[in-house]
């Protein structure tokens, strides 16, 4: 049976008569009768019994109709899914970010995104730089959010915002009395810093320049969340982005702005050769909006 024969057969089963099926299909009644006769001849068995001018489906027709209905249900689901994807109400969005962004800005963006797109399934992974790049290249994640552009020929990075840097201090630290912290205030302070060679470490190197005293760096960590946790224990002071600091609720941690504004640039990474999905575009817009509020 071809598609035209299947549509005609289903119309007769649904409406119960050839005349009603013809109206449903917007064709003439003789055309439906001829196609039905041809189909039955082709199959080698009747689909309907004619009794006193009415059609009654045979056992074979009922079995065939059950299969046809399952196919039509699948087609309906596909059509609905296609519409919902266009409306950005359904689908899967794979996101990967640096660990620090996974604790700070990313939860805010996901909260807003899920309110706007409640039917979308989100898969978030927080990875180090090299693993983040691999996740996008392998297609496990569609977009990545990080603090520096990716130098890979198959990926492109676009700056989508910037997050202010702030200073985090133990609650009993003398510098909490200052409304804003100058970088010179931190020159002789024990500091929780970032692993040497990491993107955040490079940010601090650029921030302090040659005047930084490396012997005062007591601990090196990978993520800004670790900085906050250690500073809240009174181990030292640290610098994190404002989104991470805002997520802290400890009364043992005090946040102060830097006297001169410094920011972390945010980059959105994706495939250079595959178009970004509607969901990924919507999420990137939210990132820009949220970063602009900081």
Mean pLDDT, range 173-180, rounded to an integer: 94
**194, two tokens:** 């970032």
Mean pLDDT, range 17-35, rounded to an integer: 90
Comparing 35 with 80, which gets the higher pLDDT?
35
Q: Does domain 3-86 have CATH number 1.10.10.10?
A: yes
Q: Which percentage of the chain shows pLDDT scores above 90?
A: 32
Mean pLDDT, range 142-157, rounded to an integer: 90
Could you tell me how many helices (H) and strands (E) the chain has, helices first?
A: 11, 11
3-86 against 162-263: fold identical: no
Residue 91 reports pLDDT greater than 90: no
Residue 263 reports pLDDT greater than 60: yes
Q: Which helix (H) or strand (E) holds 20?
A: helix 18-25
| C-alpha distance from residue 57 to each of 3, 28, 39, 40, 53 (Å) | 19, 21, 14, 12, 13
β-strand partners of 168: 238, 255
47/37 Cα distance (integer angstroms): 9
292/241 Cα distance (integer angstroms): 13
Residue 214 reports pLDDT greater than 50: no
Indicate the pLDDT class of residue 216, thresholds 50, 70 and 90.
Answer: low
**45, two tokens:** 């068995």
Comparing 208 with 227, which gets the higher pLDDT?
227
Q: Give the number of other CB atoms < 10 A from CB of residue 218.
A: 12
Indicate the pLDDT class of residue 88, thresholds 50, 70 and 90.
Answer: very low
Indicate the pLDDT class of residue 38, thresholds 50, 70 and 90.
Answer: very high
Residue 276's SS3 state is coil
Name the CATH code of domain 162-263 (choices 3.40.80.10, 3.40.190.10, 3.40.50.920, 3.40.50.300).
Answer: 3.40.190.10
Mean pLDDT, range 34-48, rounded to an integer: 91
Q: Which helix (H) or strand (E) holds 278?
A: helix 278-292
**200, two tokens:** 């955040």
Indicate the pLDDT class of residue 83, thresholds 50, 70 and 90.
Answer: low
Mean pLDDT, range 111-132, rounded to an integer: 88
- State the pairing for strand pair 143-146/91-97: parallel
Predicted TM-score (pTM) of the model is 0.61
Tell me the pLDDT of the chain averaged across its residues.
85
Quick one: pLDDT at residue 184? 87
What residues does each domain of the chain span? 3-86, 91-159+265-292, 162-263
274-290 tens-digit pLDDT: 888 888 999 999 988 88
Mean pLDDT, range 140-159, rounded to an integer: 90
Angle at 215 between CA 171 and CA 254, to 5 degrees: 15
Topology of domain 91-159+265-292, CATH: D-Maltodextrin-Binding Protein; domain 2 (3.40.190)
16/23 Cα distance (integer angstroms): 12
Indicate the pLDDT class of residue 157, thresholds 50, 70 and 90.
Answer: very high
Are residues 88 and 44 in contact, defined by beta-carbon separation less than 8 angstroms? no
């Amino acid at each position: 049976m071809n598609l035209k024969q299947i549509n005609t057969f289903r119309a007769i089963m649904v409406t119960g008569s050839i005349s009603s099926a013809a109206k449903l299909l917007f064709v003439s009644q003789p055309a439906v009768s001829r196609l039905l006769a041809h189909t039955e001849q082709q199959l080698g068995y009747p689909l309907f019994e004619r009794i006193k001018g009415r059609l009654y489906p045979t056992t074979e027709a009922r079995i065939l109709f059950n299969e046809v209905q399952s196919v039509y249900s699948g087609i309906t689901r596909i059509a609905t899914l296609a519409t919902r994807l266009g409306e950005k109400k359904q689908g899967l969005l794979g996101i990967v970010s640096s660990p620090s962004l996974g604790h700070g800005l990313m939860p805010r963006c996901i909260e807003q995104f899920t309110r706007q797109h409640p039917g979308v399934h989100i898969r978030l992974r927080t990875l180090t730089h090299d693993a983040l790049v691999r996740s996008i290249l392998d297609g496990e994640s569609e977009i990545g959010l990080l603090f520096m552009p990716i130098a890979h020929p198959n990926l492109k990075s676009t700056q989508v915002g910037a997050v202010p840097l702030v200073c985090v201090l133990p609650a009993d630290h003398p510098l909490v009395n200052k409304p804003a912290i100058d970088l010179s205030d931190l020159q002789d302070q024990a500091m929780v810093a970032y692993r040497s060679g990491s993107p955040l470490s490079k940010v601090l190197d650029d921030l302090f320049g040659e005047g930084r005293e490396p012997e005062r760096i007591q601990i090196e960590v990978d993520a800004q969340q670790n900085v906050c946790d250690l500073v809240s224990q009174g181990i030292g002071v640290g610098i994190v982005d404002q989104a991470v600091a805002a997520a802290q609720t400890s009364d043992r941690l005090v946040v102060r702005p830097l006297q001169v504004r410094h920011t972390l640039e945010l980059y959105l990474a994706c495939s250079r050769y595959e178009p970004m999905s509607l969901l990924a575009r919507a999420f990137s817009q939210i990132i820009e909006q949220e970063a602009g509020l900081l």
